[in-house]
Amino acid sequence: MSDSTINSTALPPREPSALLGGFNWLARTLATVAATLFGLLVLTFFIGRLLPLDPVIAILGDNASQSAYDAMYRQLGLDRPLIEQFATYVGQVVQFDFGRSLTSGNPVLSDIARVFPATLELATLSILIATGFGIPLGVLSAMYRDSPLDYIVRVLTLLGYSAPNFWLGLMGLTLFYATLGWVAGPGRIDFVYEYTLTPITGFLLIDAPLLGEWQAFANAISHIVLPASILGFSAMAYIARMTRSFMIEQLNQEYVVTARVKGLSWAKTVWVHAFRNIAVQVITVVALSYAFLLEGAVLIETVFAWPGFGRYLTNALLAGDMNAVVGCTLLVGTIFIVLNLCCDLLYHLLDPRTR
């Protein structure tokens, strides 16, 4: 066998190790994900059992006789040792059976599948608004530090930080819905459309166009624009402030002075060179903001009668509906893990030092 034959048929020497490296990364990641979710499961399950909330009363009501109470207590398996209850529960969860919600009577997964799209839709629009305004405002504020523009941005972001969403929501509804009539009121969509749209994905902003229901689509937009803007305003404040802070730090670096000395425009220096260096940090901030929005904005969901995930989780917790609480907690954990993974991948793409 000649050398040339060897060279032409053998794989390049780096590829097997790259493949192996990729496999190792995947295996490590999956193990980390599994360990994190299991840890969450353990914590939530046992904390749930320690909470002074009674799931039996959540089902039977305060009026139930003791015999009915005892029967339901046994039916829920609460008379069995805690470790046995946990083992049974884990056995169900690995088969994606999170049990039934004690309050709605539905399988927890189907409840989550119903409420999560409402939150995902709201959070996604909010983060788009927050990012679309927050990053440019943060960069501009840093570029024109101590200028009137900077002061305006700082006051705006301070307002976004300090004004409670709950209050902003009610004020927004009073002004834009009740007084000016610019937007539709609480809820995801008007009643006339609500039960004529057949859910396909559960996302109204997707389902309505898919079904050709353009009026319903416009109505859904009109409903979502205010809560999304208010949520987006808070997230925008955080993103803008952090972006400003990262950018100011970069603009003090020597390479910026060098670029300017070489004749590069101020805008190009900032947006092309400096921004590239803060991109990784900004992505982290955006991802964290998105994760918190996805976790559910309980107060905004309450004010806007938004049938979302945050309110579902809060109600489940207050009612002692631990099946729903554990299911939701695992979903929140998964959201954070997925967003972390997305961030890691983006780091790889944007920052050669992390490769």
The residues that touch other proteins, with contacts defined as CB under 8 A, are: 51-54, 57-69, 71, 101-106, 111, 114-115, 170, 173-174, 177-178, 180-187, 190-192, 194-195, 209, 212, 214, 217-219, 221-222, 225, 302-305, 307, 311-312, 315, 318-320
Spatial distance between the Cα atoms of 135 and 139, rounded to a whole number of angstroms = 6
Closest to other proteins by CB, 151 vs 182, is: 182
Q: For the CB of residue 328, give the shortest distance to other proteins in the complex, in Å.
A: 13
Q: For the CB of residue 262, give the shortest distance to other proteins in the complex, in Å.
A: 36
Please report, for residues 48, 186, 231, the alpha-carbon distance to residue 176 in angstroms, rounded to integers and kept in the order given: 41, 12, 15
Q: Which two tokens stand for residue 78?
A: 């609460």
In sequence order, which ranges of the chain are alpha helices (DSSP H)? 3-9, 14-50, 55-60, 66-75, 82-93, 108-143, 148-162, 165-172, 191-194, 204-210, 214-251, 254-261, 266-268, 275-294, 298-303, 309-319, 322-350
Spatial distance between the Cα atoms of 102 and 60, rounded to a whole number of angstroms = 10
Closest to other proteins by CB, 13 vs 212, is: 212
Q: For the CB of residue 341, give the shortest distance to other proteins in the complex, in Å.
A: 31
| CB burial of residue 133 (10 Å; 0-12, 13-18, 19+) | buried
Spatial distance between the Cα atoms of 347 and 354, rounded to a whole number of angstroms = 7
Q: For the CB of residue 171, give the shortest distance to other proteins in the complex, in Å.
A: 10
Which pairs from 253-258 meet CB under 8 Å and 24+ separation? none
Q: Which two tokens stand for residue 300?
A: 């905004």
Spatial distance between the Cα atoms of 40 and 47, rounded to a whole number of angstroms = 10
Q: For the CB of residue 327, give the shortest distance to other proteins in the complex, in Å.
A: 14
Largest CA-CA distance found in the chain, in angstroms, rounded: 89
Closest to other proteins by CB, 34 vs 171, is: 171
Closest to other proteins by CB, 65 vs 95, is: 65
Q: For the CB of residue 208, give the shortest distance to other proteins in the complex, in Å.
A: 9
Closest to other proteins by CB, 212 vs 263, is: 212
Closest to other proteins by CB, 138 vs 310, is: 310
Q: For the CB of residue 302, give the shortest distance to other proteins in the complex, in Å.
A: 5
Closest to other proteins by CB, 8 vs 63, is: 63
> Which of 242, 245, 267, 243 lies closest to 256 in space, CA to CA?
267
